[in-house]
A and B are shown apart, each in its own frame.
Chain A
Amino acid sequence: MINFQYARASDVADAVRLVASERTAKFIAGGTNLIDLMKMDVERPTKVIDITRLPLKQVERTPGGGLRIGALVRNSDLAYHPLIEQRYPVLASAVMAGASQQLRNMASTGGNPCSARAATTSTTRQRPAISASRAAAAPPSTGTTACMRSSARATPASRHIRPTCASRWPCWKPRFM
């Protein structure tokens, strides 16, 4: 793992400012994907911005009758949330079917789609290793789990959260969402 500068964001505006200040900066929340990839030098951020203290941990009702899930709601908190259990039991079951309880206690709701981990298995089997930058620019995979890759827009803010999974390895967490 390369060395990196660590910064703790105090609020959302601070987090955006910090991530925009350095092209190779990355947000960290649960860390279960990012640290894993950093250990293999697949991800090499020079600045890591800790967003775990931001107030994004609520599951709220929306006026339209739906729910808004905070990006930092941990997987286990999501699955065990009374509103999710009552109104979206399939979502609760899906969350509980992934990973382990230790990982679900760490992994954030927002980090999961942002890191595009679920695409790993399908993409790595169908094409060789690609660099993170090429992965970001590549068209959607022909795999069954193209995930957010196809909907990422090249705006300055999304550049930093666009899925850039470039793992060369088969997914070693087959149960991970």
Chain B
Amino acid sequence: MTSNGEDSGGNTRHTAYPSRREVIGGAATASVAMGMPSGATAQSLQSVSGAVAFSVAVNVTVNGTRHALTLDPRTTVLDALREHLDLTGTKKGCDQGQCGACTVLIDGRRINSCLTFAVMHEGAQITTIEGLAKGGALHPLQQAFIDHDAFQCGYCTPGQICSAVGLIAEGRARTAEEIRELMSGNICRCGAYTNIVAAIQQAMGRS
């Protein structure tokens, strides 16, 4: 957790090798270019497909930093975070609101960022996994997840932790059973649920 491969050591990797994200992005660009007549621009591509281009300005505060974005209205909060703000800690899992990997806090409430358009959140305060640690100190839930080994592959973990922050803020869960019920929107395919519940109980001060 402390040495996140995507964030640390990035300089060496980015200069020596293209990252996975860069390769995927480059391949997508190439495939679009092949389908276009030479010299065609993005604008002409839109006119060929018959669609009209719309873009919307939106101001959001993410982890305390204000961002002024101009977005295609189809952009979900998840894609805005990952593709426009390079905050890739929030994960895209099912992209259908089932798995909870994309959970973030908007104005203090946990939501699935894959099922809401960014343009709907003008003026919102968004907190992602990157915004939980303060001054180099891990959030109590991040520390609790480490203490209890509450993950294996780690893909669901940012969503689990953001969801647990929301859970504690809601103040509705007292027992382990209630924690399990109210965390049911976060799927962990590794099956670390027992340790996740223990970590949340520790962070709630009920270990």
Query: A interface vs B, CB < 8 Å?
Result: 1-6, 8, 28, 30-32, 35-36, 39, 48, 50, 52, 76, 80, 99-103, 105-106, 172-173
Are A32 and B54 in touch, CB under 8 angstroms? no
Interface SS of chain B: helix, strand, loop or mixed? Answer: loop
A residues less than 8 Å from B56 (CB atoms): 6
Are A105 and B111 in touch, CB under 8 angstroms? yes
Are B182 and A3 in touch, CB under 8 angstroms? no
Are A28 and B117 in touch, CB under 8 angstroms? yes
B residues less than 8 Å from A36 (CB atoms): 96-97, 115
Tell me whether A3 and B111 are in contact in the complex, defined as CB-CB below 8 angstroms, given that A28-B117, A80-B172, A172-B96 are known contacts: no
Identify the closest chain A residue to B94 (Cβ): A172
Q: Could you tell me the distance between the alpha carbons of A50 and B163 in the complex, rounded to whole angstroms? A: 25
B residues less than 8 Å from A173 (CB atoms): 97-98
Contact of B117 among A5, A35, A103 (CB under 8 A): A35
Q: Could you tell me the distance between the alpha carbons of A70 and B111 in the complex, rounded to whole angstroms? A: 20
Contact of A102 among B111, B119, B172 (CB under 8 A): B111
Query: B interface vs A, CB < 8 Å?
Result: 51-54, 56, 72-74, 76, 95-98, 100, 103, 109-112, 115-117, 119-120, 122, 163, 166-167, 170, 172, 182-186
Interface CB pairs A-B, < 8 A, 14: A3-B73, A6-B54, A52-B120, A99-B185, A100-B112, A101-B110, A101-B166, A101-B170, A102-B111, A102-B112, A103-B112, A106-B115, A172-B96, A172-B98
* Least Cβ–Cβ distance between B113 and chain A, in angstroms: 9
Q: Could you tell me the distance between the alpha carbons of A169 and B166 in the complex, rounded to whole angstroms? A: 31
* Least Cβ–Cβ distance between A167 and chain B, in angstroms: 12
Q: Could you tell me the distance between the alpha carbons of A127 and B185 in the complex, rounded to whole angstroms? A: 30
Q: Could you tell me the distance between the alpha carbons of A29 and B115 in the complex, rounded to whole angstroms? A: 11
Are B182 and A48 in touch, CB under 8 angstroms? no
Are A48 and B73 in touch, CB under 8 angstroms? yes
Are A102 and B74 in touch, CB under 8 angstroms? no
* Least Cβ–Cβ distance between A119 and chain B, in angstroms: 19
* Least Cβ–Cβ distance between B81 and chain A, in angstroms: 15
Tell me whether A3 and B115 are in contact in the complex, defined as CB-CB below 8 angstroms, given that A101-B182, A172-B98 are known contacts: no
